[in-house]
C-alpha cells in the first residue's frame, strides 16, 4: 500500500523527487498515467533505478519527468530489481534541465499525437545518401510499423527526446509526411452507408442477397485498396472492418465511393432508377445538408441534381 500519494498536476515530479532525496527515503515511487505504471526506486534518498513500459535507467527517468498529468504513490522499503542509475540526483536534475530546454524548443513543432506519419517514396539513387544513427533507424522502423504518432512514442525504446528529434529530422528531409485523422467524417460516411444498405440493399434485395453482393464488391475493391480487405456486413447488416486508422485521404474516399456507387448501380439495374432515386434521396436527406462537403466528395450532389441519372 502507498504511504504517500498525490497528483502530478498539483506538485511537479522534480519537487517530489527532491523531497524524497532530502528525506532519505527508501522504496518505490509509482507514477500512473492512464493505464501505464512507471517506477522510480530510491535507496536512502538516492535514485538507483527507473522503469517505464519500454525504458529503464536514466532514459526512463528523464522520460518520466516530462509527464504533466497523472498520480503517484510511494511504497516504502520496496527493493529495486536492479540498479541502473549511478548519477546523483543533482546531476540527474541538471541533465534533465538541459534536456527540457531542448525538449521545449521542439515539442510544439512535433505532429499531434493523433496524426499519422507516412513514409514517402525515395528514389533509388537518393537512398544511399540517407545517413542515420541507430536510434533514428529504430524510430523509422516504428513509423513504418505503426504510423500513429502516439504509438511511435509509446513503443519507442530511445526516449521521447530522441524520438521527437528523429521525427523532426525525417520531416525536414521529406522522408515522412503527416496525415491527419478524420474519424468524425469517416463515422459519418459509414453511418450513411449503413443507412443505404438498409434502405436500398436489404429492402430491395433481402439480407442474404445484399450480403453476397457487398462481399463481392469489397473483394473487388480490396484488390486496389488493402484497408478494405476485412470490410464486411455484421449480423445486423452494419459495415465493419474498415481499417484506415482514422484517415480520410484520397484512397479511402475513392474506395468508399466505389462501394457506394456499386450498390447504387446494382440496385438501379434491378428496380429501376426512379425507385432507387426515391429511396436514395431520403437517405441522403437524413445524413447531409445541401452543399455538404462529404456530399460533394461522394458525388451525391450531382446524383440529386440529375434525379439519379448521373453515373460515376
Mean of all residue pLDDT scores within the chain? 87
What is the tens place of the pLDDT at every residue in 38-93?
Answer: 999 999 999 999 999 889 999 999 988 888 888 999 999 999 999 999 999 899 98
Query: What is the residue whose three cell numbers read 462537403?
Result: 293
Q: What is the pLDDT of residue 183?
A: 76
CA distance 169 to 171: 5
This prediction's pTM: 0.59
| Cβ neighbours of residue 254 closer than 8 Å, sequence gap 6 or more | 225
pLDDT (mean) for 92-112: 88
Is the pLDDT at 243 greater than 80, yes or no? Answer: no
Is the pLDDT at 245 greater than 70, yes or no? Answer: no
pLDDT (mean) for 242-264: 81
pLDDT (mean) for 175-195: 84
What is the tens place of the pLDDT at every residue in 159-178?
Answer: 989 999 999 999 999 999 88
Q: What is the pLDDT of residue 206?
A: 85
The mean-pLDDT minimum among 141-150, 218-227, 236-245 falls in 236-245
Q: What is the pLDDT of residue 232?
A: 86
Q: What is the pLDDT of residue 11?
A: 67
- The set of cell numbers assigned to 307 is 434525379
What is the tens place of the pLDDT at every residue in 126-154?
Answer: 777 788 999 999 999 999 988 889 889 98
SS3 state at 146: coil
Q: What is the pLDDT of residue 34?
A: 80
- The set of cell numbers assigned to 135 is 536510434
- Strand 46-51, strand 71-76: pairing: unpaired
- The set of cell numbers assigned to 202 is 436489404
CA distance 83 to 311: 69
pLDDT (mean) for 105-133: 84
Of residues 273, 140, 150, 251, the one with CA closest to residue 204 = 273
CA distance 233 to 194: 9
Under the banding of pLDDT at 50, 70 and 90, the label for residue 297 is: confident
Q: What is the pLDDT of residue 141?
A: 94
SS3 state at 78: coil
pLDDT (mean) for 287-304: 87
Q: What is the pLDDT of residue 163?
A: 95
Is the pLDDT at 21 greater than 80, yes or no? Answer: yes
Amino acid at each position: 500500500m502507498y504511504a504517500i500519494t498525490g497528483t502530478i498536476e498539483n506538485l511537479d515530479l522534480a519537487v517530489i523527487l527532491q523531497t524524497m532525496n532530502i528525506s532519505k527515503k527508501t522504496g518505490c515511487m509509482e507514477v500512473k498515467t492512464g493505464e501505464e505504471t512507471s517506477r522510480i526506486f530510491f535507496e536512502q534518498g538516492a535514485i538507483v533505478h527507473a522503469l517505464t513500459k519500454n525504458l529503464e535507467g536514466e532514459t526512463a527517468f528523464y522520460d518520466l519527468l516530462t509527464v504533466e498529468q497523472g498520480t503517484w504513490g510511494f511504497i516504502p522499503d520496496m527493493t529495486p530489481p536492479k540498479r541502473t542509475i549511478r548519477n546523483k540526483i543533482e546531476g540527474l536534475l541538471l541533465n534533465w534541465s538541459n534536456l527540457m530546454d531542448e525538449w521545449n524548443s521542439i515539442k510544439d513543432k512535433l505532429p499531434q499525437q493523433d496524426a499519422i506519419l507516412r513514409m514517402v517514396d525515395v528514389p533509388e539513387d537518393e537512398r544511399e545518401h540517407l545517413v542515420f544513427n541507430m536510434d533514428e533507424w529504430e524510430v523509422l522502423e516504428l513509423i513504418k510499423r505503426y504510423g500513429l504518432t502516439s504509438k511511435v512514442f509509446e513503443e519507442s525504446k530511445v526516449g521521447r527526446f530522441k524520438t521527437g528529434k528523429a521525427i523532426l529530422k525525417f520531416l525536414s528531409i521529406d522522408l515522412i509526411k503527416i496525415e491527419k485523422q478524420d474519424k468524425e467524417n469517416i463515422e459519418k460516411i459509414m453511418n450513411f452507408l449503413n443507412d443505404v444498405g438498409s434502405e436500398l440493399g436489404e429492402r430491395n434485395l433481402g439480407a442474404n442477397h445484399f450480403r453476397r453482393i457487398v462481399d463481392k464488391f469489397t473483394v473487388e475493391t480490396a484488390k486496389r485498396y488493402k484497408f478494405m480487405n476485412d470490410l464486411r456486413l455484421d449480423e445486423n447488416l452494419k459495415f465493419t472492418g474498415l481499417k484506415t486508422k482514422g484517415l480520410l485521404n484520397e484512397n479511402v474516399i475513392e474506395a468508399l465511393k466505389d462501394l457506394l456507387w456499386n450498390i447504387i448501380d446494382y440496385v438501379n439495374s434491378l428496380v429501376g432508377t426512379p425507385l432507387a432515386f426515391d429511396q436514395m434521396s431520403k437517405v441522403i436527406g437524413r445524413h447531409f445538408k445541401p452543399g455538404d462537403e462529404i456530399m460533394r466528395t461522394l458525388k451525391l450532389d450531382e446524383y440529386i441534381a440529375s434525379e439519379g441519372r448521373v453515373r460515376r
